[in-house]
Amino acid sequence: MAGHLLKSGYSLIVYSRTKGKATELLESGAIWAETPRKVAEKANVIFTMVGYPADVEEVYLGEEGLVSNARAGSYFIDMTTSAPSLSVKIYNEAKKKGIHSIDAPVSGGDVGAKEASLSIMVGAEEEAYDAVLPLLKLLGTNIVYQGMPGAGQHTKMCNQIAIASNMIGVCEAIIYAEEAGLDPESVLKSITTGAAGSWSLSNLAPRMLKGNFEPGFYIKHFIKDMNIALAEAERMDMPVPGLALAKSLYDQLAAMGEENSGTHALYKYWKK
């Protein structure tokens, strides 16, 4: 994603906890920063994508974080899937310093990131959204303004809830085909274009059949997302039995040592 910005002619300052992960960007002309603070001091638009809400809070609100060190008029764009309440908290703290804060979680996995075809769900003041839209268009093809800060994260929770139950259906369909003695790849030709079609069925089921469980999205991060959605649903007094079931299955997979596999490794639940 950072590479798309760089290739579009923008000067890029990068920070990662593991510098080696930025090697390709640095070789292509990006400038290395030793800390998030160093990024904040130099950049006027700052994208973040980290692991967990605790990481988001540290990067933005820590003593050496972005809010304390960025310049007035800067734009924060957090693309981590995080807690809606934290996005609102960051927005409020940033606003005190004249900084625009935007939550813009994404969907589309590693394929969408590489092809700049992500779905981007945006929570922000509308003026801030309009200002950064040209940059978001370099990263995604389905960019939707959802409302004020926190709305992007709530929308991502809707996305994750839909994926959670859908992934169970995808895995059970493939296992059923195998148990019935069918050719699963032939079955996919029939069902991916019908009413059962979904992104997961088209893109992840073939990986399952090839035994490729490399992460487009880590199970451990999906569990984090489901925990956020479950907490938000509880706050709204809303039952989510499908989500709760999916979470329990993924918890079992994580206990089996699969936390660093891709979400489609749920297939292994039936193979254990």
CATH numeric code, 2-148: 3.40.50.720
State the pLDDT at residue 224.
95
* Cα 75 versus chain centre, distance: 19
Query: What are the φ/ψ torsions at residue 225 (nearest 5 degrees)?
Result: -65, -45
Query: For the range 138-144, what are the long-range contacts, defined as Cβ-Cβ under 8 Å and sequence gap of 24 or more?
Result: 138/4, 138/5, 138/8, 139/1, 139/4, 139/5, 139/106, 139/113, 140/106, 140/108, 140/112, 140/116, 141/116, 141/117, 142/117, 142/118, 143/119, 144/119, 144/120
pTM of the model: 0.92
DSSP 71: P
Task: Identify the H or E element spanning 122.
Answer: strand 118-123
- The catalytic residue positions are 156
- Give residue limits of the domains in the chain: 2-148, 154-270
Strands (E) located in 148-236? none
Looking at domain 154-270, what is its CATH homologous superfamily?
N-(1-d-carboxylethyl)-l-norvaline Dehydrogenase; domain 2 (1.10.1040.10)
Structure tokens at 245: 């079931």
Flag residues of the chain having pLDDT under 50: none
Q: What are 91-111's pLDDT values in tens digits?
A: 999 999 999 999 999 998 888
For residue range 200-228, list pLDDT tens digits in order. Answer: 999 999 999 999 999 989 999 999 999 99
Average pLDDT, the chain: 96
Q: What is the pLDDT of residue 164?
A: 96
Burial of 40 (0-12, 13-18, 19+ CB in 10 A): buried
